[in-house]
Amino acid sequence: MTSQQYPTRLPCGNRVLDLSQTHVMGILNVTPDSFSDGGHFSSRDLALRHAEAMVQAGATLIDVGGESTRPGARAVSAQEELERVAPVVEAISQALDVVISVDTSTPVVMRESARLGAGLINDVRALRREGAVDAAVATNLPVCLMHMLGEPGDMQDNPHYDDVVIAVADFLRERMQVCCAAGIAEEKIILDPGFGFAKTHEHNLGLFKHMQDLHVLGRPLLVGVSRKSMVGLALGRPVEQRLAGSLALAAMAVARGARILRVHDVAETVDVVRMIAAVDAAR
């Protein structure tokens, strides 16, 4: 296991995450067009029931997203995203004992979600949208900054890096510096290498292999590879047949020091995390 260099207590609104252990974050897309589960949980009641099932399966975070960021996804208006996300955040906050993460780059969604009970901002654009840094500061919540170049609509248009690990580390370091200068404490920052975002298959594999090099940044890592194309391309599997590959990557991510795993298949991933913890705890 990779030794950690940061305080392990992370306040998330009215809850606290203990980052001395790995947590499983359940994905809740309230969108019609996400790559794996678009349209499945677009109503408030369906979304709440799915969130409840994921918490019962062992998820300690639920990541609510109202804008698909799959390659080629269309942009949605701030109002449309807010109308999708806000009722679900409010319902989960009132019904479940779980940290609510909001997968958004939109300032108004950040502010309103925090007011309704969200505990973490998870931004694939690393707070680069206009007004996002100020909104994140105003919420006083921790933030997850992800590496991505361009926008979802064009991010896969021939991405190039001389060294993908160095490029990702440099990008995340710069975004951390911007956030800290604006008033977000370093202790409130989580980092996501951005697998599948502006990266070829070889970029994804190489970045995953050397993920532990990102610990030089001194912040906990969130890893999201569940059902993604890097699994499909490596194994020749369609989305609905990528569980085994996703679980293999989950185990390797834990071994490389990841502290949050963002997944669709919560129960199976929780078993992976618990099995690793049981072995590590043995005499």
CATH code of the domain covering residue 274: 3.20.20.20
Cα dihedral sign, 207-148-106-77: negative
| d(C-alpha 37, C-alpha 259), whole Å | 24
Domain span at 102: 9-281
Residue 107 lies in a domain: yes
User: How far is C-alpha 108 from the chain's CA centre?
Assistant: 19
Specify the range with the lowest mean pLDDT, choosing from 35-49, 93-107, 145-159, 204-218: 35-49
Give tens-digit pLDDT for 54-102: 999 999 999 999 998 777 667 789 999 999 999 999 999 999 999 999 9
Pairing status of strand 260-263 against strand 222-223: parallel
- pTM for the full model? 0.93
pLDDT bucket at 38, cuts 50 / 70 / 90: very low
Mean pLDDT, residues 184-196: 97
Catalytic residue numbers, as ranges: 228, 262
Identify whether 4 is part of a domain.
no
Span 220-241, pLDDT tens digits: 999 999 999 999 999 999 999 9
Q: How confident is the model at residue 42 (pLDDT cuts 50, 70, 90)?
A: low
DSSP code of residue 240: G
**Residue spans of beta strands (DSSP E) within the chain:** 9-12, 15-18, 23-29, 61-65, 99-103, 120-123, 143-146, 189-192, 222-223, 260-263
pLDDT at 256: 97
User: What string of DSSP letters covers 115-148?
Assistant: HHT--EEEETTTT-STTHHHHHHHHT--EEEE--
Number of independent structural domains in the chain? 1
Within a domain: residue 1? no
